[in-house]
Structure 1
Amino acid sequence: MKLLAKDLQESREKLVLAREEERRQIRKNLHDDLAPRLAALALNVATAEKYVVKKPDIAIEMLGDLRKVIRATVDEIRTLVHDLRPPSLDELGLISAIEERISELNKPARLLADEQGIVPIHIHLHEPPLLPDLPAAVEVAAYRIVTESLVNVIKHSQATECTVKLHVSSLNQLVIEVTDNGTGLDPSYTLRLPGKGGIGLHSLRERAAELGGECSIEQVERGGTRVLAILPI
């Protein structure tokens, strides 16, 4: 019991540290990059205003430059927002957002397979029964676990089939399965200590653990790999 309590305390401390690190990074991005850029935009607009009447050609040139900077700034803000919560979750919902991501991944995978003369991978989502309203944190974790798993499959598995399944168990848990028919886990993976896998695999476990859930990556008997994540709702 003492060991379990100690492990639990250590896990909580790691989560707090990870959360604070994310907040620090967001603050840094806002303070060191976006804030000065927006201040510079305001200054440049004020300068352009002075040239509108006196030297309109210079004003037009400055406004053209401002347009480019504004577009770049908007892209950075979108990236920052996407890192916090993918916009597609709010726009489409979890299942449709996953379907959209699968569609996005299938296209380049087919093109790459055609270039290499190999059988392209086909990723499909088993249409789940109607899911209940999920907490925002569970939606984000589920989306990230699925998408990161799919990227790993495409990059490393040499699979031709990959299936994504989601359902809610009788214990009120969201169960996520991503299964492929590829080459399976690297033999060295089974020799690594828990939590010492690659960055992608470690990230999957962290996302589940943050919500009090769990995530495992295992070899499938018939060949391939299965990612199984269980998230409390």
Structure 2
Amino acid sequence: MTNDNDTNKTVPLEETITVIEELSRCKPLSPSDRRTSVETFAGVFANWCLGLSGLCLAPPALMVFFFNTVGVSVPVKTLALASLTASLFIAFAALLAPIVATGWTLLRWETVTLQNLKADIRHEQKISTDLRKNSADALKEAKMWLELKIKRVDARVTWFFGDKTAVLTLMATAYLFSKEFGGFGWLQKTLQAGPGISNLGDTTLLYMAALILGLSIGAVFLRHIAARYRYQVELIDLALR
């Protein structure tokens, strides 16, 4: 005969909350964590070049603002022009370094994607190992609540906008809506005129376009929240394996 306490076992709420709090601190690897050594070096090099370019630009700039350049001797002018030229070339190097690094990364895309995959596996395996310190029942309970939140968010977005492509459609509609009535000039004119009887039509149209755009942006953020919950559910599935 089975015990009713075993079949109807409930997980303490605090255990579930602990799992949720732990999951809230778990994040996928950021793009900066995925950067190759060449990209990291290029970023550091670019920052140093920008600083050096600013230093080279400072003396000629101070000379122009605080001194009369008419009576400046030729050697001083030559030195100022050389400093300006050096500043331009160094700034150009700062812009070129990340582009070269990105091109080098694209040429080695197979190696880079493999490294990123291994880094993701190690990162998420560590998270799942930490999650296993909680009980399996607490993990399942947290997964149930997360899946419930995902359904509610998706239902809310779908109720307002329909399928996934409707958000982009509405944003494009808001843009075309304002463009059809004169674009930014019409917006500026309507905002300057303000609400009133003589401007009631344009003001109403402007508010409608703003409402559509605002709802679309809100739906994008809601989908971002749902994606975050889905990532947490995937981590729980890894921990329950």
Larger Rg: 1 or 2?
A: 2
Q: Between the two structures, name the one with larger relative contact order (CA 8 Å, sep ≥ 6).
A: 2
With normalisation by structure 1, the TM-score equals 0.28
Q: Which has the higher strand share?
A: 1
TM-score (norm 2): 0.27
Choose between structure 1 and 2: higher helix proportion: 2
